[in-house]
Every structure is written in structure tokens, then in C-alpha cells.
Amino acid sequence: MSDSTTDTAVGEPSGHGHRKRAYAVKQVRGPFLRLAPNPQAIEDDVDLEPLVKRLRKSDPEQLLAADLFSGAGGLSLGLQQAGITTVLAVDHDKDAVETHRHHFSGLTARWNLGDPVTVQRVSSLIKEHAIDIVCGGPPCQPFSKAGRSGIRHYVRTGVREAYDDRRDLWQSFLEIVQRARPRAVIMENVPDMALDREMLILRTMVFELESLGYAVEERVLETWRFGVPQFRQRLVLVALRDGVQFTWPPETPRKTTVDNAIGDLPVVEGGWRPEGGAAGWAPYAKPISEFQKRMRESVPSHERYRVYDHITRPVRPDDLEAFELLDTSTRYSDLPEHLKRYRDDIFDDKYKRLNAHDLSRTITAHIAKDGYWYIHPSQDRTLTVREAARLQTFPDWFRFAGPPSAAFRQIGNAVPPALGRALGDAVKNALLANQKERSSTKQISAALAQWFDSTDLQASPWLKPDSRWQVISAELLLDKAPTDHVRRIWPVLKQMKTPTDTLRRAQEIRDIGRLIGRENRATQIVSVAEALADTDCLTHRVLSDLVSAKLISRYIAEIATLALESESEDEEEEPVIINRRILRVASRFSGEGVDRRNHLTDGRLAVARMVGFSHQSRSAHLSIMEISNTICRPSGPDCTRCPVAQWCVSSESDSLKVNRLPLD
């Protein structure tokens, strides 16, 4: 959102090669809100000790938290609602720091957590004052090949490189935990953090935390199940020191709709501003839904009939015409041509009217620049600051420092307080119960790897190959083949270590394919070998090219990558692979329905929890593939032969029938 509009707004080029006419928009400046520090806020490190002592004296069981990358304080507020006091908060955004300092006691510092000196300083404060919980949502950036190689080297050898000023902020977060060793860690982030091929960041964090003695749980949560009125998925990692077991908070099946959340707020036009600037307010009647009543709790009595920050952008005349045509199912491409300022093949969902009777779409920081994704359900304008705050579960008394654009940005970046409260309650309960976790990813991975390394594979012997080409040819010809076919044919394929070897015996491959009713597959093997010609070194790039040319599937390329490490560090990868068979094992093991929902998130997380990220992870992952074909079959598992049965939920069940899944 811009804090002021220009006198004219000129349409951007559409996909039809012409420019739209200019529309005059009245200049409207957003109020610039300044917030005084909380009366109990402290300004310096030295003042933290008396505050902590006072809190401990008043309640010896009081849990204290440090909120890193705290933003406006959504997580701090949620923890506060759970009875946990944030005594230290760190962020680098000026307006967010001002907002946090206004609403919370303790030390709110505008420090750069990418600075090694700051990392040391924050670590020392947390450790010195025995702060119980370290929480936050560190930004996570994609890795370069060099960065990935460095992380793998550390995981494999334990040798850490010197502090790199360019290191990512999640590494700063992890280092603070390593130095301070708090009782609990809560990390919140976008699910994309776990969706790269290797899930490198998440697996590294789990590996490191378990090495420090933490029991770690990670899950993608749908925040609406905790009372947040929007579709917002978040990756949450919780780690408890000394192997203490964590149980996820209970979920609700009932959705809080957009109308439940904001239906009581007064009607305003786009660009409306109250008298009094930042101190101005809109007249308010009363809350109706239970959610609205919660949002009005703790509003001072003299502000009972006021609502603050109920302001939004002005609406251009052409936008107003477009908004009037929109219902909740209308797409941008459905609008008349004269109202399109953007290419509708790229921006098909550029405009989105929210459904009053359903969840809002995810409120993100992008709302600060463009509110078209968030058009009011019944009014022809984008959302107000207060409406966005409500959809993030910030109560009405919570204000945001800076201009409206800064307020929107802080709201979009925040952890919804309702989610923070649920997590805070769950962590408190877990620490109080003090039950020990029965297993760790490290133990499970080690058991799987040991079984794999000591077992003669029956279903997929090519998972112990001499070359990646052996894996490709065997997967193409023998995947899901009867065991007797595998036993007779694999020794032949094993002799062909390169595509060139296969081409020399092309007719033999075709004959074998014909004998077992897989002639088309045999022909495909020869075609792939011909495409590779004299390319016998199957690097990641070569495998990717085969996938792009649709000669092999991505799944086969990933198995070839996993089954045999490359001799080149630049090529080394360890992807987390899923298919129906692998998901079946993970689902039975965890007792969760990861085979039926969110394969790319829940499924991959479940597999990653089993294989870990150590020198044993490759063997552990490959063992799941073999187990899925020999031990944990669709018709039912043979738990007496499974190397991880002692930790398997299905193995402990009174009736395995409950956990058996349909045939592939």
C-alpha cells in the first residue's frame, strides 16, 4: 500500500499491446501512527536482570520467552495469552520494533540477527537469564550449491566453517539455540521451507537439535483449525530439551468465516479517513459473533463505541467498476477488456472478492503493496488495516506503528496470535508433563540403515548398484515385477553398467522384455540408452535432461540420485522421495493420514522424520523403498520382520486392520 497516491494513476500495459486511459484519483495520505514505549519496557541489557528476577519471584513457575524476528509481536501476544511472558524480542524493522515495544514489557531491540556479534549478544542474554523458550520465524533463502555442500560437510563431519557474515538468518536462529540451550524452541515458517528436493534447512535443523538432546516435532498446520479466519498453512517446528515429548494442540473442525471475523465493522468507502489523523476512529456498534467479542475484549471502556485503523486505499474509478462486477467466483480474466490493466493469462486471479461465508485467502506482507487479492465481501474496496488485523486474530486494541503500508506489512508478516496461543499452551503442558519421547529421528534412521546395509534385497536389489544406469534400467524394466522375475533378470541387467553396455546387448533386452510381458519397457530402456549415446557419467544435469525430455520420470531420476552418490561434490544430492508405496509406510509408521493428504508437505515431512539427515540417511531412505515392497505391503504389514516396528504406531495397534490401506 502506498502512503499517498499520486494525482493521477496511469494504467499499466495489458497483454493486448495498448495502454489504458489515465484516471484521476484524489490524493489521500495515510495517518502516520507513533506509539510510545510500554511503561514496563526496558532500554538496555543490564535492566533485563531485575525484570527477570521480579517475574521469577512473583511466580517461580513463570515461563519466559525470547522472540527472535519478532515483528509486530503476533507470536509474543499469543504466548502472552497462554501465560508466557516475552522478556526479549529482536527484529530489524523499525516500525515493527516500535509496535512491539509499545505493547510488551521487557527488552525489544532493533538489532540485526545476521551480525555475529548480535548472535553472541542475544545468546548470552538468553543463557545468562535462563530464558525458557526461544521462538521466531527466521527468513529462509534458497541455497547455492556451495552453501548446500558446506552444510552437508558439516552434517557428515561435524566440522563447522568459520562464521560467514552472509549466512542465512535461520542459521543465526539455530546458533542462538545451540549456544543458549533453552528448554523449548518454537520455529514458525512458510511450508516452502520444507518443499525443496532435499528439505535441506529443515533436516539440518532437526539433525542439529537432536544432536543437542532435543526431542523434535515438525508439522504443517492449517491455521484455521486454531481459530484463524483464513486459509494459511504454516510449518511449525517444536523442540523440547532433554528429550521431553511434545503433543500438538487440539484442533477445531469449525471454521471462523470472514463474516464471523469482520462483519461487525462499519461500512466505509475506499480512501476514507477519520478526523484526527492517527488518533481518529470510526463509530462502532457492537460485536455479534464469538470471534468478534474476543477481538473487543480489553478495549478500554471509553473506546467501546470506537474502532481504530479502519482505513484503506482509495479506489480508482476503473477499479470501482471492476469491483462492482465481481462476486466470489469471478476471475480477473472474466472482466471486460476495458477494465483489464494486466495480462489476464498471467494475472488470472489478480482481483479476488473474499467470500463472507468462508475463510479468507492468506494475508501476506504483499497486502502492503497490492490489496486486489483482498476485496471486501460486500463493499467495493480492498480491506482496511483493522480488517486485515482481525483476519490475523489481532484484537482491536492492538495498534501498529508507522503509516498504513507499514501496518499492512507488519500484519502480513505476523504469526497469528491465535496460533501462537495454541502452541504456547501445548508447550506449557508438555513441559509440565515432562514425558520423555520414545524415539528420535536419529534412532529410527540408524535402525533402517543398519537393516538395509545387512539385508540381501529381494524386491529391488538395484538399490545397491554399481552405477546409476543400473538403477534406471532396472526401475524401467523390473519395478513391481514378481520376485522370481527380479531374481532371474537382475543379474543380467547388473552386467550392463553403462548405456553403452546396454546398446551392445539391445536385442537381448528386447527379448527379455518380450518374455516377461514388458516389451514396451524394454524398448524404452534402449531408447534412453540411445539418447545418452556415449554419456556414461549420469550427473544430476544429465538426469534432469532425461526428465525434461520425458524419457524417464522424475521419480526414477531421484532414485538413481539417491542410490549412488556422485563423485562430484557439486553434484551430490539427497532428495526426499515419495510415492504411494513410501507414503504407505510413513503413514502406518506415524499413524497419520499422510498418504491421503498433502503429499508434498505432510508426506515428505513424515518420510524426512524417518530418514533424518546424517551419513545413514541414504541407506535409511532406500530401506523404506524395499520395506514397502516386501514387509509393509498393501495387504498388510509383517511387523515381525520390520526393523522399526518398536516405534511404529500401527505395530502397537490392537487391530492392524484399522491401519491397513487399500491396494496400490
Contacts of residues 28-31 at CB distance under 8 Å and 24 or more positions apart, as own/partner, are: 28/4, 28/271, 28/273, 28/314, 29/3, 29/4, 30/1, 30/3, 30/4, 30/273, 30/311, 30/403, 30/404, 30/405, 31/273, 31/277, 31/278, 31/280, 31/311, 31/403, 31/404
Whether 649 is in a domain gets the answer yes
pLDDT band at 570 (very low <50, low <70, confident <90, very high): low
Catalytic residue among 140, 639, 642, 648: 140
Which ranges in 196-274 belong to alpha helices (H)? 200-211, 258-262
Last residue of a domain, one of 538, 563, 588: 563
For the cut 70, the answer to whether the pLDDT of residue 127 exceeds it is yes
**CA quadruple 168, 171, 175, 181: dihedral sign:** positive
- Angle at which helix 468-478 crosses helix 483-494, to 10 degrees, equals 150
pLDDT band at 103 (very low <50, low <70, confident <90, very high): very high
Is residue 478 domain-shared with residue 505, that is, in the same domain?
yes
Is residue 51 domain-shared with residue 17, that is, in the same domain?
no
Give the pLDDT of residue 447.
97
Is residue 378 domain-shared with residue 424, that is, in the same domain?
no
Residue 652 belongs to a domain with what CATH number?
1.10.1670.10
Is residue 515 domain-shared with residue 633, that is, in the same domain?
no
Percent of the chain clearing pLDDT 90 (strictly above): 72
Measure the CA–CA gap between 655 and 664, rounded to whole angstroms: 21
Is residue 293 domain-shared with residue 388, that is, in the same domain?
yes
Residue 530 belongs to a domain with what CATH number?
1.10.340
Measure the CA–CA gap between 65 and 612, rounded to whole angstroms: 28
* More reliable by pLDDT, 163 or 579: 579
Is residue 335 domain-shared with residue 426, that is, in the same domain?
no
Least confident of 101-115, 136-150, 190-204, 352-366: 136-150
Cα distances (Å, whole numbers) of residue 329 to 320, 335, 337, 356: 17, 12, 18, 12
Active site residue 140: yes
> Which pTM was predicted?
0.88
SS3 64: strand
Give the pLDDT of residue 455.
95
Give the pLDDT of residue 652.
66
Among 122-126, 205-209, 363-367, the range with the most confident prediction by mean pLDDT is 122-126
For the cut 50, the answer to whether the pLDDT of residue 20 exceeds it is no
Measure the CA–CA gap between 168 and 461, rounded to whole angstroms: 40
Dump strand ranges (E) for 28-120.
Answer: 41-42, 64-68, 85-91, 106-110
pLDDT band at 350 (very low <50, low <70, confident <90, very high): confident
Is residue 118 domain-shared with residue 205, that is, in the same domain?
yes
Average of pLDDT values for 360-364? 93
Give the pLDDT of residue 212.
96
Whether 173 is in a domain gets the answer yes
For the cut 60, the answer to whether the pLDDT of residue 565 exceeds it is yes
Whether 414 is in a domain gets the answer no
For the cut 80, the answer to whether the pLDDT of residue 158 exceeds it is no
pLDDT band at 342 (very low <50, low <70, confident <90, very high): confident
Average of pLDDT values for 642-658? 73
Measure the CA–CA gap between 317 and 321, rounded to whole angstroms: 6
For the cut 80, the answer to whether the pLDDT of residue 57 exceeds it is yes
Give the pLDDT of residue 571.
55
Domain count, the chain: 4
Least confident of 232-236, 502-506, 654-658: 654-658
Whether 521 is in a domain gets the answer yes
Burial (0-12, 13-18, 19+ Cβ within 10 Å), 617: buried
Last residue of a domain, one of 514, 531, 563: 563
CB 410 within 8 A of CB 72: yes
Give the pLDDT of residue 142.
52
Considering the chain, what is the average pLDDT of its residues?
A: 88
Give the pLDDT of residue 6.
33
Give the pLDDT of residue 655.
42
* 214-252 per-position pLDDT tens digit: 999 999 999 999 999 999 999 999 999 999 999 999 999
Average of pLDDT values for 499-510? 96
| Domain interval for residue 476 | 466-563
Least confident of 121-130, 540-549, 568-577, 605-614: 568-577
Last residue of a domain, one of 533, 563, 593: 563
CB 497 within 8 A of CB 464: no
Give the pLDDT of residue 8.
33
Q: For cell 528420535, name the residue.
A: 440
* More reliable by pLDDT, 161 or 506: 506
CB neighbours of 454 closer than 8 A, spacing ≥ 6? none
Give the pLDDT of residue 15.
39
* More reliable by pLDDT, 372 or 86: 86
Give the pLDDT of residue 599.
67
Measure the CA–CA gap between 13 and 6, rounded to whole angstroms: 18
Contacts of residues 481-488 at CB distance under 8 Å and 24 or more positions apart, as own/partner, are: 481/516, 481/518, 483/458, 483/459, 485/516, 486/458, 486/459, 486/460, 486/461, 487/458
Whether 412 is in a domain gets the answer no
Is residue 24 domain-shared with residue 47, that is, in the same domain?
no
For the cut 60, the answer to whether the pLDDT of residue 365 exceeds it is yes
Residue 335 belongs to a domain with what CATH number?
3.90.120.10
Dump strand ranges (E) for 241-370.
Answer: 282-283, 306-307
* 602-644 per-position pLDDT tens digit: 888 999 999 998 889 999 999 999 999 999 999 889 999 999 9
Is residue 48 domain-shared with residue 184, that is, in the same domain?
yes
From first CA to last CA, the distance across the chain in angstroms is: 50
Q: What is the dihedral of CA 300, 303, 304, 306, to 10 degrees?
A: -150
Whether 460 is in a domain gets the answer no
Residue 320 grid coordinates: 470501482
Average of pLDDT values for 39-57? 94
- Quick one: how far is CA 649 from the chain centroid? 25
- Angle at which helix 145-157 crosses helix 200-211, to 10 degrees, equals 20
What helix, strand, coil percent values describe the chain, rounded to 5?
45, 10, 45
* 168-198 per-position pLDDT tens digit: 788 899 999 999 999 999 999 888 777 778 8
Residue 102 belongs to a domain with what CATH number?
3.40.50.150
Q: Look at residues 263, 243, 260, 262 and name the one whose alpha carbon lies nearest to residue 252.
A: 260
**CA quadruple 587, 593, 599, 602: dihedral sign:** negative
Measure the CA–CA gap between 379 and 382, rounded to whole angstroms: 8
Is residue 263 domain-shared with residue 245, that is, in the same domain?
no
CB neighbours of 396 closer than 8 A, spacing ≥ 6? 295, 296, 299, 307, 308, 386, 389, 390
Percent of the chain clearing pLDDT 70 (strictly above): 87
SS3 240: strand
Give the pLDDT of residue 18.
39
For the cut 90, the answer to whether the pLDDT of residue 144 exceeds it is no
Give the pLDDT of residue 537.
86
For the cut 70, the answer to whether the pLDDT of residue 26 exceeds it is no
Give the pLDDT of residue 651.
76
What phi, psi does 599 have (nearest 5°)? Answer: -55, -40
Average of pLDDT values for 517-525? 96
Give the pLDDT of residue 24.
44
Which ranges in 115-186 belong to alpha helices (H)? 116-128, 145-157, 169-180
* More reliable by pLDDT, 141 or 661: 141
* 410-463 per-position pLDDT tens digit: 999 999 999 999 999 999 999 999 999 989 999 999 999 999 999 999 999 999
Least confident of 90-104, 277-291, 581-595: 581-595
SS3 153: helix
Whether 231 is in a domain gets the answer yes
Give the pLDDT of residue 654.
40
Is residue 117 domain-shared with residue 266, that is, in the same domain?
no
pLDDT band at 21 (very low <50, low <70, confident <90, very high): very low
Whether 445 is in a domain gets the answer no
Is residue 542 domain-shared with residue 517, that is, in the same domain?
yes
